[in-house]
Amino acid sequence: MNNMAFFVNMPRTIVLLLLLVLSPPLFTHPAKKFVLADYKLIKTLCHEAETPKTCLSCVRSSKGSLQADGVGIAIIIVNCMMDKANALKLNITNLASTSHGNQKSICERCIEDFKIAEKELVLAKNALHEHKYGEAGSYVDKALSFGVTCRTDLKSYHDKVPSDVFRDMKIFVELYKAAFAIILKI
């Protein structure tokens, strides 16, 4: 009789085994769709900015980008701007250590400008967290103005300034364009 019970329950056992074997694809498939949807949001927002390659590069560099909404993506780009401002501040500090006269004083002003830009970007992030998008845009604008002033001042010393400083300044402006465009969309 025990053998008979085994055969009667065999279809149930097979069904349970099939469910166990097939369940991982059933549960992971919706997650893949979710990730694709977020990647589409990133692509859409970055392609609406003037500088999609810089935007995508920045956003992809963040671990949490695929879970980010529009505000989160804007914050990621502001973080990239902060990183770039910090790198510029350090590179210009190195340049100032070997500069003399007017070039040295311009470098020192630029260092202070990028310190202020970093503070403005922190304020922009806070405003984004509080959903105060107008304020966030204003802070990002102020941060950009310090970078543009520095670039304009250093252009007269173009031959004495490492090319990577100007490249980073260009990326800083591109990140601004992306951040501002996304802030306008959210």
The CATH number for 173's domain is: 1.20.140.40
Q: Is residue 134 part of a domain?
A: yes
What's the confidence (pLDDT) of residue 64? Answer: 86
Residue 177, domain member (yes or no)? yes
Rounded Cα–Cα distance for residues 173 and 109 (Å)? 19
Interval 11-22: pLDDT, tens: 555 544 444 444
Asked if the structure places residue 59 within a domain, the reply is yes
Is 31 a member of any domain? no
Domain interval for residue 164: 52-185
> Which tens digits make up the pLDDT trace of 83-131?
999 999 999 999 999 999 999 999 999 999 999 999 999 999 999 999 9
Average pLDDT over residues 121-149: 97
Q: What is the mean pLDDT of the chain?
A: 85
- Under a CB-based contact definition with an 8 Å cutoff, are residues 125 and 79 in contact? yes
Task: Give 25-66 pLDDT, tens digit per residue.
Answer: 444 444 333 344 478 888 999 998 899 999 999 999 999 888
State if pTM tops 0.75.
yes
Instruction: Calculate the CA dihedral of residues 90, 95, 100, 104 and round it to 10 degrees.
Output: -40
Number of domains in the chain: 1
Q: Is residue 72 part of a domain?
A: yes
